[in-house]
Chain A
Amino acid sequence: MNDARKPGLIQRYTAGQRSNHWVIAITFVLLALSGLALFHPAFYWLTNLFGGGGWTRILHPYIGVLMFICFFVFAIRMWGHNSLNKQDRQWLSQFGDVINNRAEKLPECGRYNAGQKVMFYAMVILMICLLITGVVIWRAWFQDYFSVGTIRLGSLLHAVFAFLLICAIIVHVYAAIWVKGTVRAMTRGTVSQGWAWKHHRAWFRQVRKSAAQK
């Protein structure tokens, strides 16, 4: 039975969105593992997961291009839900309440809270930066197009942006584990009414309203 029709549940992500999200997630994990393998000698053994150092070097950029494409399809679909407003500024100023589990003190949120929106823009910017710097250091295809100075800068920045993205994803994953009832939005596609009411009340009301109009 389709989860979305069960009483007490609200649909948050379609099957297509969920699939796309998990393609991005899988490619991200592969990229983080292969990237770390080439970043620090302590992680070089991770190249074994990809068939050795040579294969790690070959595969990493292609997986990166796939992640970038999937991410942008996803980001464009989510773009409209992520514009920052006045309540978002208020939410961010109460960050102490956020991390101390005082959700009841926070202003009402729409489909996404301010933290999620900031994360969204951070990911968009980092993905673009990683693509650009990644192309610069992709010697198999582009080594003749850039000077050694540009490649040096690209190498350093690619590592910096990847570091920032990994940190962002650590926060993203932890937030999903921390706020119970969240993970099922991306596995089953639905959340409970209570979850929506508690964390995204404006969105909850909007969903109820449009359901009532039908």
Chain B
Amino acid sequence: MALQSLDIKRRSATTIQPPTARGAVQEVAKLIDTTKCIGCKACQVACMEWNDLRDEIGLNVGVYDNPADLTPQSWTVMRFAEYENPKGDLEWLIRKDGCMHCEDPGCLKACPSPGAIIQYNNGIVDFHEENCIGCGYCITGCPFDVPRMNEKDHKVYKCTLCSDRVAVGQEPACVKTCPTGAIVFGTKDDMKRHAEGRIADLKSRGFENAGLYDPQGVGGTHVMYVLHHADKPELYSKLPSNPEISPMVSLWKGVAKPIGVAVMALGVLAGFFHYIRKGPVETTDEDERKAEEEAHHE
């Protein structure tokens, strides 16, 4: 979703520094408190409404997850996990899944098309589909398995953190609609402070491992979770415990690029200077004469 009024921190496939003068922008974050979520899916509906998305009506696959996965038309889904804790009690762990808006976004690092993925100064990572070429490298780069390729237009879609709403001082649609206040939005600092209060409350009520999910392997995220079991994020439908950009992607889209190009250029230069210094190997008249001689000798 193009929104040029926001300031840009990083731009895909761009090696020069974006404009940095207007840097006094506060970083934002969405805080999702899984301990307050009731799984009503109002956030999914609000996302569809605001972003004009209408997914195909699917089939019930026997669990509450509906739709079953993120799609180009469903940028957020609630994932329901049933966890039997050591006491033998059942805990229903519900997590609103979607783009985490990484501070160090793997999608942006992998994208080959200049300006198809943008990170604004406020931390939101946005796809500009008009520049998307449909290669799917962002899907390859994402540590959270979030972007989805649309088969109809071969472009990739994901949560925008309602960058259009945020730009005009409104909170994302999912935040606006959440009936229990499980989703809140503000500056990242404020959200961390808010989370501290929630975690202290949870600890006082027996959830001693309650904590904030703001994984540092991707430089922190602009979508954070309060978890009852922050020591075991995998319980929440395989939320990765230490996500990071895959070393293969870092190598491919990191040092391999300048080194590869430099070596190829040096290869061409080596040939050029070899020719300049050693010269060509020529077939002389003498060689032709000897060949002729040998041919007639037979």
Given A101-B278, A178-B280, A208-B298, the answer on whether A194 and B291 have CB atoms closer than 8 Å is yes
Given A103-B281, A155-B249, the answer on whether A208 and B295 have CB atoms closer than 8 Å is yes
Given A57-B135, A148-B140, the answer on whether A197 and B291 have CB atoms closer than 8 Å is yes
Tell whether, in the assembled complex, residue A41 and residue B14 are in contact, meaning their CB atoms are under 8 Å apart.
Answer: yes
Tell whether, in the assembled complex, residue A139 and residue B135 are in contact, meaning their CB atoms are under 8 Å apart.
Answer: yes
Residues of B within 8 A of A137 (CB): 136, 140
Tell whether, in the assembled complex, residue B278 and residue A99 are in contact, meaning their CB atoms are under 8 Å apart.
Answer: yes
Given A57-B135, A100-B278, A163-B264, the answer on whether A195 and B287 have CB atoms closer than 8 Å is yes
Output the nearest chain B residue to A170 by Cβ-Cβ distance.
B267
Tell whether, in the assembled complex, residue B290 and residue A139 are in contact, meaning their CB atoms are under 8 Å apart.
Answer: no
Tell whether, in the assembled complex, residue B275 and residue A177 are in contact, meaning their CB atoms are under 8 Å apart.
Answer: yes
Given A167-B264, A170-B271, A194-B283, the answer on whether A139 and B249 have CB atoms closer than 8 Å is no
B294 at the interface (CB under 8 A from A): yes
B284 at the interface (CB under 8 A from A): yes
A54 to chain B, nearest CB (A): 5
Task: Mark out the residues of chain A between 130 and 180 whose CB falls within 8 Å of any chain B CB in the assembled complex.
Answer: 137, 139-140, 143, 148-149, 151-153, 155-156, 159-160, 163, 166-167, 170-171, 174, 177-180
Residues of B within 8 A of A101 (CB): 278-279, 281
Interface centre among A38, A160, A197 (most CB of B within 10 A): A197
Residue of A44, A151, A205 touching B112 (CB-CB under 8 A): A44
Tell whether, in the assembled complex, residue B256 and residue A156 are in contact, meaning their CB atoms are under 8 Å apart.
Answer: yes
Residues of B within 8 A of A57 (CB): 133-135
Residues of B within 8 A of A180 (CB): 280-283
Task: Mark out the residues of chain B between 242 and 298 whose CB falls within 8 Å of any chain A CB in the assembled complex.
Answer: 246, 248-249, 251-252, 256-258, 260-261, 263-264, 267-268, 271, 274-275, 278-285, 287-292, 294-295, 298
Which positions in B face A, CB cutoff 8 Å?
Answer: 13-15, 112-114, 131, 133-137, 139-140, 145, 149, 154, 246, 248-249, 251-252, 256-258, 260-261, 263-264, 267-268, 271, 274-275, 278-285, 287-292, 294-295, 298
A-B contact pairs, 11 of them (CB 8 A): A36-B261, A42-B261, A57-B133, A57-B135, A101-B281, A139-B149, A140-B134, A156-B251, A163-B263, A178-B275, A192-B283
